[in-house]
Amino acid sequence: MMKKNCWEFKRCGREGGRPEDEFRICPAVYNVALDGAHDGMCGGRACWTVKGTFCNGVVHGTFEQKFKDCSTCDFYEYVKEQEGDELLPTFILLEKLEGLEQ
């Protein structure tokens, strides 16, 4: 089964495509702390934990500010369905991010 990263699923272009010129490269693309999470590249399969992502025309802030929207996102549901019991708990993903910031 092909596992897509958020930018492939959403086709936002912020992985270095055309919209990137206007909005910059998405932080999920270069967030190495989450590399490999759910078999994704950088934060591409855990974007709901990455602050500053751009989705549905809006730049999202911190996890606390964005998770309500992310928890109903079609990509989040896609990852949950693919990962099943192997889905990493969000607190584990957040701990990985905190480790990078220290």
| Predicted pLDDT of residue 77 | 98
Residue type present at position 21? D
* Size of the chain, expressed as the number of residues it contains: 102
Of residues 12 and 40, the one with the higher pLDDT is: 40
SS3 string of the chain? Answer: CCCCCHHHHHCCCCCCCHHHHHHCCCHHHHCHHHCCHHHCCCCCCCHHHCCCCEECCEECCCHHHHHHHHCCCHHHHHHHHHHHHHCCCHHHHHHHHHHHHC
Which tokens belong to 50? 């990455």
73 and 55 Cβ atoms separated by less than 8 Å: yes
Give pLDDT, residue 56. 77
In the predicted structure, residue 85 carries a pLDDT above the cut 70: yes
